[in-house]
Amino acid sequence: MAFPVTRLRRLRRTEGLRRLVRETRLELSDLVYPLFVMHGQGVRREIPSMPGQRQYSVDTLVEEAREASALGIGAVLLFGLPARKDALGSEAYDDDGIVQRAVRALKSALPGLVVITDICLCEYTDHGHCGVLRDGEVDNDASLELLARAAVSHARAGADVMAPSDMMDGRVAAIRRALDENGLSHVPSMSYAAKYASAFYGPFREAAESAPQFGDRRGYQMDPANWREALREIEEDLREGADIVMVKPALAYLDVIARARARVDAPLAAYNVSGEYALVKAAAERGWVDGKRITLETLTAIKRAGADIIITYHAKEAAQWLREGE
Ligand code: PBG
């Protein structure tokens, strides 16, 4: 039955009606809060390109995580800044490394908080690439062993979920095998399965001090033009034992999220990355957009596209707004 019998505006007339027919609800339990941890004490160093985000030392990290947790955020994703970088990214798999220390502190202060750790070498290598080099190129298979060692070390420290972000082929299987062989078969992995070589990571590289010292990451991260390849990456990671798969970045890749959702039944995560955050903050600071509305609209759109889990620097403010809205 067409207009005038059908009037879709009828259900938009009041907030009560809109609420009743709303298809997508952003929830606190969807959110994962990424945090940067470094050595030292009492550190709360602002990240200029990511207003509101900071680098923390272990003590202040625990305070920040406690605040997030009090707001109802159930999970954090940790990135570490090592004391020293070297060619093999040694601190990534040092049991006394910064992430390992942070995990122990977080799990003892907030045992119920889900602590996810990023597994990658780029923050730890002096060349800034996500794997080890041979003849000036990232050597896939030589990197797998080190990534697997990092995962075992993080899991032994008590991390709840391993999140490999390096984009080496076979890393999910290598990490799964290493965890299983070390009595850690209960530890799940959330793979950055479809991770694109994106300009949206710019601010993160400042925050994590992880920009490649030469070249770029296009030899291992995905070409932004491809979506079928993303589905192959996702299916491959699931075959290798990934428990959760991720699409990253989120906003320019909502089509990839939607297609992944249609194809796989595993939990699907989306990473609302640093550059997406920076753009919103910069425009909101100038008063060009309404920061709160645009943030909630964005996060809702990521969920509507099909993500079950949203990793976002907006987590704390979104949690506050969601609570106020109730
Ligand atoms: C490490 C890693 C990156 C991000 C997450 N893990 C950067 C990169 O690949 O260059 C980006 C996160 C963000 O931009 O918020 N490989």
Average pLDDT, the chain: 97
Catalytic site residue 195? yes
Length of the chain counted residue by residue: 326
**Ligand 1 pocket: which of 47, 118, 204 to mutate (most atoms <8 Å of CB)?**
204
**pLDDT confidence of residue 144:** 98
In the chain, what percentage of residues exceed pLDDT 90? 98
Q: How many CB atoms lie within 10 A of CB 176?
A: 22
- With H, G, I as helix, E, B as strand and everything else as coil, classify residue 125: strand
Query: Does residue 128 come out as left (phi exceeding 0), alpha (psi in the -120 to 50 range) or beta?
Result: left
Pick from 102, 103, 181, 185: nearest CA to 149 = 181
User: What does the pLDDT look like over 55-82, one tens digit per residue?
Assistant: 999 999 999 999 999 999 999 999 999 9
User: What does the pLDDT look like over 135-165, one tens digit per residue?
Assistant: 999 999 999 999 999 999 999 999 999 999 9
Please state, in angstroms and rounded to a whole number, the distance separating the CA atoms of residues 9 and 18: 10
Å from CA of 205 to ligand 1 middle: 7
Out of 248, 281, 303, 316, the active site residue is 248
User: What does the pLDDT look like over 240-284, one tens digit per residue?
Assistant: 999 999 999 999 999 999 999 999 999 999 999 999 999 999 999
Pick from 97, 96, 116, 93: nearest CA to 106 = 116
The dihedrals phi and psi of 245, each to the nearest 5 degrees, come to: -120, 150
Domains in the chain with CATH codes: 27-216+225-324 (3.20.20.70)
User: What does the pLDDT look like over 77-121, one tens digit per residue?
Assistant: 999 999 999 999 999 999 999 999 999 999 999 999 999 999 999
Write out the two tokens for 28: 């606190």
**pLDDT confidence of residue 107:** 98
**pLDDT confidence of residue 274:** 98
Please state, in angstroms and rounded to a whole number, the distance separating the CA atoms of residues 80 and 95: 13
Ligand 1 atom nearest residue 272's Cα: 15
Q: Which residues line ligand 1 (CB under 6 A)?
A: 118, 120, 122, 130, 165, 201, 204-205, 217, 273-274
Please state, in angstroms and rounded to a whole number, the distance separating the CA atoms of residues 197 and 4: 49
Average pLDDT over residues 309-319: 98
Whose CA is closest to atom 14 on ligand 1? 201
Torsion angle (degrees, nearest 10) of CA 12, 17, 22, 25: 120
**pLDDT confidence of residue 41:** 98
**Ligand 1 pocket: which of 210, 220, 221, 310 to mutate (most atoms <8 Å of CB)?**
210
**pLDDT confidence of residue 58:** 98
**pLDDT confidence of residue 325:** 81
**pLDDT confidence of residue 249:** 98
Binned at pLDDT 50, 70 and 90, residue 293 comes out as very high
Q: Is the model's pLDDT at 326 over the cut of 70?
A: no
Å from CA of 241 to ligand 1 middle: 22
User: What does the pLDDT look like over 165-212, one tens digit per residue?
Assistant: 999 999 999 999 999 999 999 999 999 999 999 999 999 998 999 999
Å from CA of 204 to ligand 1 middle: 6
Q: Is the model's pLDDT at 54 over the cut of 70?
A: yes
Whose CA is closest to atom 8 on ligand 1? 201
Q: Is the model's pLDDT at 32 over the cut of 80?
A: yes
Contact 177, 148 (CB under 8 A): yes
Ligand 1 atom nearest residue 123's Cα: 1
Binned at pLDDT 50, 70 and 90, residue 1 comes out as confident
Out of 195, 281, 303, 316, the active site residue is 195
Q: Is the model's pLDDT at 314 over the cut of 80?
A: yes
**pLDDT confidence of residue 117:** 98
Contacts for 282 with CB less than 8 Å, ≥ 6 apart: none
Ligand 1 atom nearest residue 79's Cα: 6
Å from CA of 103 to ligand 1 middle: 19
Pick from 315, 326, 323, 324: nearest CA to 68 = 315
